[in-house]
Structure 1
């Protein structure tokens, strides 16, 4: 991997080693030392480059992160409340409307089933609104009185007796009779 080393360079390496440590070095040791020096030089460059990149990334992160410090818990709570109040309210109102819609749709289904089960319900509507109901001996009774005037019978309050048929008729709505 490293370039060729000349005799002159080997002699210089051996001389500098002997001058520094006082020991003589053989040629193989000088070659291995040169090879190690080349490799560690490349490794050192890679480490320096990585350190520089990590430093740049740290500066970038520090520039994007804004630390917030509070005096006490109440101030931190107020900050969080102010930051998340509007989204929380939107979610809460959405949940309320969804629950209301589901409740109304269930009520609609119940009413729809009732009307389908009792098709004559509309005919009895006015009578249900004005009828008088009394409880006698734990039984409920619809209270009616004989009609005073056949032309103006009150719905749900008066009845008319038809003697020929021996029946009581109760008007269900005001109108032509």
Structure 2
């Protein structure tokens, strides 16, 4: 979900409340116009049109509330899924770092590399020379058995698709709603 509306459901809630207020106002207006005739007043086209419009607006408000609740539940579900995926990726990375016997400095450099930082950015963050970062990267690539950054990322992503012990197939992805 992108955009301001998805980040601020409060704004949508305010709009729904305004629409609900308008629907209640129009229904009250219809009731006032109907006076003591009540249902018989609906024979007047103007009163009937206002009543139908107000009821449609009220139905739309109820639909919007239900739809907003569905979107908020879906957003919460997706955030949980992203959190799980991020945790799994982090676990894969740590497992690889351990198997490759990376030093703490190499782990830092590898982490920054995976995040997409340049050699200059990594050097600045670590307070080291670019040559030192390049040296660490060469050690990382050698220990991982890869030729460069792209191959390192590919290796780590492939780790996410490995079958767990005892499993014979990957769990299928859920169909998108």
Q: Mark the structure with the bigger radius of gyration.
A: 1
Global fold match (TM > 0.5): no
TM-score normalised over the length of structure 1: 0.32
| Greater relative contact order, per chain length (Cα 8 Å cut-off, separation 6+) | 2
Q: Which has the higher strand share?
A: 1
